[in-house]
């Protein structure tokens, strides 16, 4: 109960929404399904590209992103094995159903002038790599089934990471949890890593942490789409 079952959307920053949409629709072939002002954020655009009925790739474009320069080795890895700052995305891997479709996608990428590496056989998947606009390292991967845990958790790497046998057991089989139906009280905001409000948001941070669940919902709920549904003919 209460377990994540997939990715709803991955939100990536951009200073050029049009360029990202052009790449992912015209070059990759994905469909744009939403493009609107981000809820509660002034002059900020939010876009969603369809991966499935409940899964999307998303981009966010805010005014000040135009002045924030990416740095190779800090915000972007530069290539698929490059390093970045902790918490930054090293690369994005999107799933493709079959190897034949992977090769078809490679043809599509190369026909638009993009250099593509792969497919490379990783056993758990076959992958190919390309650099998307704004330094985004993009992987496309196909797999025939679930990962075999017994073959893919390396004892040497477990030891290198300082993970004990008991901890490993908990990672592979997390303990069950019984929901209280949303009744667990809010802990103090300083007990764990939390949001850091900067710029014009800084004065609102202390206030935000004092709000109840109901007050947060009342302030941030945006249940109405930006364009009214067309009446049935």
DSSP for 23-36 reads: IIIIIS-PPEEEEE
Q: How many CA atoms lie within 13 A of 39 on its CB side?
A: 11
Cβ distance 51 to 57 under 8 Å? Answer: yes
pTM (two decimals):
0.91
pLDDT tens for each residue of the chain, 233 residues long = 678 889 999 999 999 999 999 999 999 999 999 999 999 888 999 999 999 999 999 999 999 999 999 999 999 999 999 999 999 999 999 999 999 999 999 999 999 999 999 999 999 999 999 999 999 999 999 999 999 999 999 999 999 999 999 999 999 999 999 999 999 999 999 999 899 988 878 888 889 999 999 999 998 899 999 999 999 88
Whole-angstrom Cα distance, residue 32 to residue 24? 9
């Amino acid at each position: 109960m209460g377990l994540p079952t997939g990715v709803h959307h991955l939100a990536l920053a951009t200073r050029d929404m049009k360029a990202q949409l052009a790449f992912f629709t015209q070059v990759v072939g994905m469909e744009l399904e939403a493009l609107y002002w981000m809820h509660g954020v002034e002059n900020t655009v939010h876009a969603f590209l369809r991966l499935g009925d409940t899964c999307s790739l998303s981009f966010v474009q805010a005014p000040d992103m135009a002045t924030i320069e990416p740095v190779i080795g800090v915000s972007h890895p530069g290539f698929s094995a490059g390093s970045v700052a902790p918490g930054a995305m090293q690369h994005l891997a999107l799933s493709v159903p079959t190897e034949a479709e992977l090769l078809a996608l490679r043809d599509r990428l190369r026909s638009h002038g993009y250099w593509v590496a792969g497919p490379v056989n990783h056993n758990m998947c076959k992958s190919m790599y390309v650099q998307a606009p704004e330094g985004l390292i993009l992987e496309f991967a196909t797999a025939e089934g679930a990962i075999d845990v017994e073959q893919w958790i390396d004892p040497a790497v477990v030891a290198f990471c300082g993970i004990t046998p008991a901890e490993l057991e908990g990672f592979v089989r997390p303990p069950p949890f019984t929901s209280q139906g949303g009744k667990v009280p809010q802990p103090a905001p300083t007990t764990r890593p939390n949001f850091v409000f900067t710029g014009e948001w800084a004065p609102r941070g202390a206030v935000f942490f004092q709000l109840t669940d109901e007050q947060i919902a009342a302030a941030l709920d945006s249940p109405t789409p930006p364009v009214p549904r067309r009446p049935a003919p």
